[in-house]
Structure 1
């Protein structure tokens, strides 16, 4: 399996004694030249007076944007420590050890507007850059990364199941092939809530539920799924389990069902729908 995750919006800075990042030492070293290009462009833009506007962040994040000017020398930490937020807290990637940690490094790819993709153990500094940005000197990041990510990921994905938990901006940077030599079993994960017989899409709980699924796929006994049907069977192991608590109310919610839908187009993904209530 190949689990595709978005980065967290917020990033936790590494401890001051952390060794700086080595772009060529990250997973998929063939991405190093493009990483260097984006890194230089980001540093230049982040020094401008209009940096927050260009990077589409609020004025309250001026200090975080300023850190972008010194990322080559900034302390780095494992991606599991830098990326924080609902999905990552639920997945608990930083708590993995031994074979499960190795499986995570082999199977999880975190998409990034700056690095392209990283694995959980890759050491990176905290930064501010969304894949949706049109970065001066580089262009629209999803478009700029697309050919590089295709070369880096298509062979890894071929013949395997791709568990896609990404948001639209990161999806635009790489879509697995569903036909041809490098075809993969591409499955997008969708979370809905069932109440009074109706199912509606959720946001906060969706991130948490995708994190729970990610953690389950890495920790469960047995072989990792390698097809959409095996992924569905693994997801159904969570049926009936309490998987989270509502923010505000403190009420718990369960996963009540997992279903697998057909693709809506020839090149599109199947949909793994996780129903919570």
Structure 2
């Protein structure tokens, strides 16, 4: 099983790994577009105003432009430690022990607007590029990534069950129709259900933790739902779609 996570806009600074080496990253078929995007971001960083416009940054986020300028020289750390925020706090991979750590690192993959797809231990620098960004003079990122990313995802799905926890904009970078998809909804006392927004990430992180640390080797959506239930989550399944229901 592969559990496919979205990245996060917030990233841990620093690192103790050597500078970015695209040849060291998983999924080498993605290298050409990765290299192109890195070059484009570094070039764009020379113009702060253009960078802020393309990346959707405020004046207080100038440090994000500086990060992009240093993409090829900055120290790296494993992708699973680089990304921060609500989802990654709930996943809390640092607290796993023993065999659970190995399972988690083997099962986790991470979507990225800059790198396409990463394994947990792939070493990356901090950067700023979201799936909704549009670099000057270039097509949308989804149009650029789909032709190269979708064959890679399809190859993974041909041998392993994929649980796709990516948000909509990152799922659009590379579609995977046969994956198990997950939604989170809040149920109100009157029975109404609404989509959970910010807190969706926390519940998604808890589900990811349950899946990647479990000894079970699920091969269909029903077994994924069973793992979630054993972790104390209320879930419903309809084919390959799983809904996590939380109290509003």
Deviation string, structure 1 residues 104-153 (Cα, Å, up to 9, x no partner): 33322111111111111111111110011111354211111111112222
Residue in 1 that maps onto 2:174: 174
Name the SS of the counterpart of 2:184 in structure 1. strand
Give the C-alpha shift of residue 211 in structure 1.
0.3
Higher relative contact order (CA 8 A, sep 6+): 2
TM, length-normalised to structure 2:
0.92
Deviation string, structure 1 residues 8-31 (Cα, Å, up to 9, x no partner): 11111123x431121111111221
Q: Does the 8 Å CA contact 1:80/1:94 hold for their aligned counterparts?
A: no
Residue in 1 that maps onto 2:196: 202
Give the C-alpha shift of residue 159 in structure 1.
5.0
Distance in 1, matches of 2:137 and 2:22, equals 19
Coordinate RMSD, CA, aligned: 1.7
The correspondence of residues 148-227 of structure 1 with structure 2, limited to 5 A, is: 148-158=148-158, 160-178=160-178, 186-196=179-189, 197-220=191-214, 222-227=215-220
Aligned residues: 245
Name the SS of the counterpart of 2:127 in structure 1. coil
Q: Does the 8 Å CA contact 2:11/2:83 hold for their aligned counterparts?
A: yes
Could you list the structure 1 runs, at least 4 aligned residues long, displaced by more than 4 angstroms after superposition.
none
Structure with greater proportional strand content? 1
Name the SS of the counterpart of 1:110 in structure 2. strand
User: Aligned match of 1:275 in 242, 245, 248?
Assistant: 245
Distance in 2, matches of 1:271 and 1:58, equals 37
Name the SS of the counterpart of 2:199 in structure 1. helix
Residue in 2 that maps onto 1:261: 238
Residue in 1 that maps onto 2:40: 41
The correspondence of residues 33-182 of structure 1 with structure 2, limited to 5 A, is: 33-48=32-47, 49-136=49-136, 138-158=138-158, 160-178=160-178
Name the SS of the counterpart of 1:89 in structure 2. helix
Distance in 2, matches of 1:96 and 1:53, equals 40
Distance in 2, matches of 1:158 and 1:149, equals 14
TM, length-normalised to structure 1:
0.83
Name the SS of the counterpart of 1:189 in structure 2. strand
Distance in 2, matches of 1:122 and 1:95, equals 20
